Every structure is written in C-alpha cells, then in structure tokens.
Amino acid sequence: MLSHDVLIVGSGLAGLRAAYEVVGHLDVAVMTKVYPSRSHSGAAQGGVAAALANVDGDSIEAHTYDTVKGADFLGDQDSIEILCGDAPRTIIEMEHLGCAFSRTSENKIAQRAFGGHSFNRACYSADRTGHALLHTLFEQSMKLGGSLQVYSEWYVVRLVIEDGICRGVVAMDIKTGRLETFHAKTVMFGTGGYGRAFKITSNAYANTGDGIVAAYRAGVPLQDMEFVQYHPTGLYQHGILLSEAARGEGGYLLNGDEERFMQKYAPSKMELGPRDIVSRSEQTEINEGRGAWPKKDYVLLDLRHLGKDKIMEKLPQIYHLAKDFIGVDAITDPVPIQPTAHYSMGGIPTDNDCQVYLDENGARITGFFAAGECACVSVHGANRLGTNSLLEALVFGRRAGKKMLEATRETDWSPLNEKAELAAARLEIDELVHTKATESLADIREELKTTMTNQVGVYRNGDDMESAAEKITELQDRFTRVKVSDKGKNFNTNLIETLELSHMLEYSELIVAGALARKESRGAHSRTDYPKRDDENWMRHTMAFRQEDGGYELRYKPVKITRYQPEERKY
C-alpha cells in the first residue's frame, strides 16, 4: 500500500494548481491516466476570463452579472462572485509563473470579445490559451522536482469512502496492470468532464467521467448532470473544437443561403450570443432545411473577411485544424461546422472551498475535494460562458489546495482495509475479463453515443428521452456480457476502454434521468415539449443519489441567490 497525505487525481489545471498550493507543506502526489501535459485543459483555445480592463472599462461586477445571466440563473451566485472576484489576481499569477499571453499595444495582456461577455474580457495566448496555461503549470511541477510525486498512466478504479470519511483510492498502473491501494488523508478529484458519451463531441477520448462515476459509486451524489453544453462550432463530423475566438475576432455564421442567421435569434449580440443560444440557432437552421450543401446537415463558419494575416496571427490553430482534418482552407472558404458536445456543467457537488457534499442538506465528506470540470460548485449553472472554465479550474484548484492544506493538517489517518478494497477492485476487473462474453464493446459504445447525440442533444423532448432511457438500460444489460479480448496485464487499453464504457453508461443514465425530470427549458437543457423556463418549480439543482441496487434517486436543492433576481434572458 502506498500512502500520501494528499492524493490529487487528475493533472489538468485544477489538479496541478491545487498541488502547487500544497507541495512543500505536505506529502502530495498527482495521479493521471495520461501525462500531465496531455490533460484536456490543454485543448481549451480561445481564452480565460478576467475583468483586467486592459482594453475597455470592464468590471468584476459586469463579469459576475454576465456569468449569472449566462448560466440562466441556475448558478450559485456566491460562488460566481468568488470566481469573478478572484479572476484578475489569478491571471496575473499565471503571467508571473511564465504563461505567454498575447499583448496589447501597451504591452499588457491582450483581451478579446467572447460570447455572452459584455466587455473584451478573454485573456489569450493566440488560440492556444489552455495549452499555454497547462504547460505553465506543468513546467512549475517540474521545477518542484522530487517534492511532487507524479503517477502518470495510472487509472483510478475505486474511491474509498466509509462513514463519511474518504480514505484513499485503488488504482491500476496501466503499464503493468498492477492494482495498488493508495492511502490518503485527503483525496482531490480534478478528473475532467463527461462529454465522451456523445457521438459528436469536442472532448478527448479520455473524458469518460471516470472520477465522477468513481465518486458516485462511493456514495457521492452527482449534481445537475443533465446540463451538457453544446459548442456552436464543432468541425463538421469530427466535432473538434474551433474556438469561439473565431467569432470573437469577427467571424460570421452563415446558413446554406449564406445568410448571417444569428440576426434572427440574437440581434444585438449576433454571433457572440451565449453558446446555448447559438447552438440552438444553428440546429434550428439545420432542422428547418437551411443547412449547407450537400446534406444540409451543417452550417458555415466564415472567416474569409478577416484576411490571411489576422487568421494566421490570432487563429492559427483553427486554420490548421480545418486544413488538416477536413481539407478546408479557412482563408479562402467557409468552414463546415455543427454543434458539438463540449462541456459538462454537472458533476460532483462541492462548497466554495471545493469540499464535496454528501447530501442536498449541506453535509460534507471529510477528506474529499473536487475542482474543475468534474466538480459542480456551481458557477456555470445551466450554461457556461466561454473562457470561464479555465478560470474556474485555476480559481477553485487554488482554493481546494488552500483548504486541503488546512484540513489535512488537522486530520488523522483513518484506517483503510487494503485487502478488502483490493479484492473488490480485482473482482470487478476479473468479472469483466473472464466471464463468457458475447457483446462487442465497440457496438455498445457506438450505440450509446449515437443515442445521446440524437436523442439527448441540442433539442430534447420527453418521447426521445424515454426511448434513450430504455436504450441505455438495454445497453447496460448487454454490457454485463461485454467481451474483453485482451487478457494481458500490461498496457491493456482494451480493459481500460471497457471500464470507461461502464462509466459512460452509468452517468448517461443520470443525464437522461435529470433531463426527463426537469420539465422546463433552461440554458443548455432545451425541451421542445417544455420550451419555457419555469423558475417557480425548477430554479433548483438536481442531485442524483445512487441506490443499493444500482438505481438512482433524484432530490433537489435550492440555488443560492445574492444580488441578481432571475429575469428574462435576452441578447
């Protein structure tokens, strides 16, 4: 059994930022299923929000209000005030740590427009902002040298929580297949989102909600899982992210008739409306037959009028993605795009110091924290504004670190039954590998993803989702007979993908359950059978609790309101 005072699972911005806070004071380790520089934070492109007011008269208050409104009033306003209030300090800190930011003519950090933000608020590094921030923290982790232990290519199989106290995890060394128990006074998850359950998605193959489901199976409720953001500019058929910065820099959205259709849906903000509204507008154009040729199942992102110089200076990655993946030259041709499952607003419920809630009444789990996309504080409510996710990971990663430092020092070791935990993890894997099996992993996965994109996508309705729920139950049953052909121990990606699929099936059930129960439209959750927001009945967070038999129970908790009463959301 290995042990660390603090074990952080996930090496993206939240995990590394938390580690940075704790290292040197306590024995801390970071565990990742990939390598730190390969975490999905690095895929964020357009920017990170902060009211630095480097280019206009922005304020923290404006950032706060934009975020509350963008969240369709489902965000907890006390948390949003923390997020926006701490943003300027956070950006300056990252600059001091070495992050290379694009600059203004006054040599300050440059800021540009982004959807749903009323000022030029997005600090950026060309269109590779997440990459620049992630590598900065990865560099700092190397500077820490041996004082920060990093377990790369380790995969968490079980989270151990007993009597409301977190005691550690069981994880697999992917290279050897060895299972190992990690005893910890404090565990933090920064394990990322769950968008991989959708066919068209901008998410990494790694984003299979492993941490979220490990927590759920250990008795932690999951909050607001039905809120999945569809990003308006996914590369056609690939779903790969083309940053909102393309529109922030002046790009147009065109339908098949080359019409800037956003004038019908968000006349004042046009292409820079919030993501939920822009994605719905695109989907409406496609559904009503105004998509682009030949199949009319996509719309167009037009950058041509920006000119080659601006595209290559401000949006080089977008240019290369379009060129390499679908052979379109964005300087001379509009780029085919479609909405793509992008961000998980839901996740592990936490307080403002990232400590995880055990129930809807505010009881907390001792020694368990979560931050970043896997967590639900909730600062994004029903719809996240672009550039607020990198910010959340940094702000709340740091807060988690500070609180863990304080809490862990006051905590004694709680016992962990190594033998029993290892046996349970071993049993789960052996059952997958050794039972007589007939079902294809790839078929189940494909059917799940198609179901989620087609029936639980940009527009939802009761009938479609009932059928999706039935389908998921069928797939869960078939999964009990899934075939794992690779029986080897070392680097068994066949086994890892099977474990990932089991997670995808488990949380997809909760996405559908929360969405079916929520009889309203709010933010990214848009039901054609309940097209209006219903503040009277649904201004509340969903909490899904796992039952003994593997089923779920939904309960609810109120949204925290400080300054801004709900109002109609117009752009």
In the complex with another protein, which residue's Cβ is closer, 110 or 391? 110
In the complex with another protein, which residue's Cβ is closer, 96 or 305? 96
How far is the C-alpha of 91 from the C-alpha of 437, rounded, in Å?
A: 52
- Which residues form the interface with another protein (CB under 8 A)? 34-35, 37-40, 42-43, 91-92, 95-98, 100-105, 107-110, 125-126, 128, 131-132, 135-136, 139-140, 142-143, 145, 175, 202, 204-206, 237-238, 240-241, 316-317, 320-321, 324-327, 440-442, 483-486, 488-494
Alpha helices in 119-261 (DSSP H): 129-143, 210-217, 245-248
Place of tokens 């849906």: 265
In the complex with another protein, which residue's Cβ is closer, 51 or 356? 51
Closest separation between CB of residue 555 and another protein, Å? 35
Write the DSSP string, 215-229.
HHHTT--EE-TT-EE
Query: Which residue pairs from 24-27 have beta carbons closer than 8 angstroms and sit at least 24 positions apart in sequence?
Result: 24/144, 24/147, 25/405, 26/405, 26/408, 26/409
Angle value at C-alpha 387, between 383 and 389, nearest 5 degrees: 65
Strands 28-32 vs 148-152: parallel, antiparallel or unpaired: parallel
Closest separation between CB of residue 139 and another protein, Å? 4
Closest separation between CB of residue 4 and another protein, Å? 21
How far is the C-alpha of 365 from the C-alpha of 447, rounded, in Å?
A: 36
Closest separation between CB of residue 153 and another protein, Å? 9
Closest separation between CB of residue 542 and another protein, Å? 29
From edge to edge, which strands make up the β-sheet containing 540-546? 222-223, 540-546, 552-558
Closest separation between CB of residue 247 and another protein, Å? 18
In the complex with another protein, which residue's Cβ is closer, 105 or 565? 105
Q: What are phi and psi of 104, to 5 degrees?
A: -85, 175
How far is the C-alpha of 120 from the C-alpha of 175, rounded, in Å?
A: 46
Residues 6+ apart with CB under 8 A from 384: 70, 71, 229, 275, 343, 345
Question: Which is catalytic among the residues 275, 384, 399, 445?
Answer: 275
The CA R_g of the chain, rounded to the nearest whole Å, is 22
Write the DSSP string, 85-117.
HTHHHHHHHHHHTT----B-TTSSB-EE--TT-
Closest separation between CB of residue 388 and another protein, Å? 20
In the complex with another protein, which residue's Cβ is closer, 259 or 439? 439
From edge to edge, which strands make up the β-sheet containing 48-49? 48-49, 122-123, 111-112
Closest separation between CB of residue 143 and another protein, Å? 4
- DSSP 3-state assignment of 497? helix
Residues 6+ apart with CB under 8 A from 368: 159, 161, 166, 186, 187, 188, 189, 215, 220, 355, 356
Alpha helices in 240-274 (DSSP H): 245-248, 262-265
Place of tokens 């984003």: 207
In the complex with another protein, which residue's Cβ is closer, 131 or 471? 131
Closest separation between CB of residue 371 and another protein, Å? 20
How far is the C-alpha of 331 from the C-alpha of 381, rounded, in Å?
A: 36
Q: What are phi and psi of 560, to 5 degrees?
A: -85, 125
Paired tokens of 448: 């799940």
Listed residue (69, 68, 130, 60) closest to 88, CA to CA? 60
In the complex with another protein, which residue's Cβ is closer, 40 or 518? 40
Closest separation between CB of residue 416 and another protein, Å? 30
- DSSP 3-state assignment of 7? strand
- Our answer to whether residue 399 is catalytic in this structure is no
In the complex with another protein, which residue's Cβ is closer, 210 or 421? 210
In the complex with another protein, which residue's Cβ is closer, 233 or 542? 233
**Which positions are catalytic?**
275
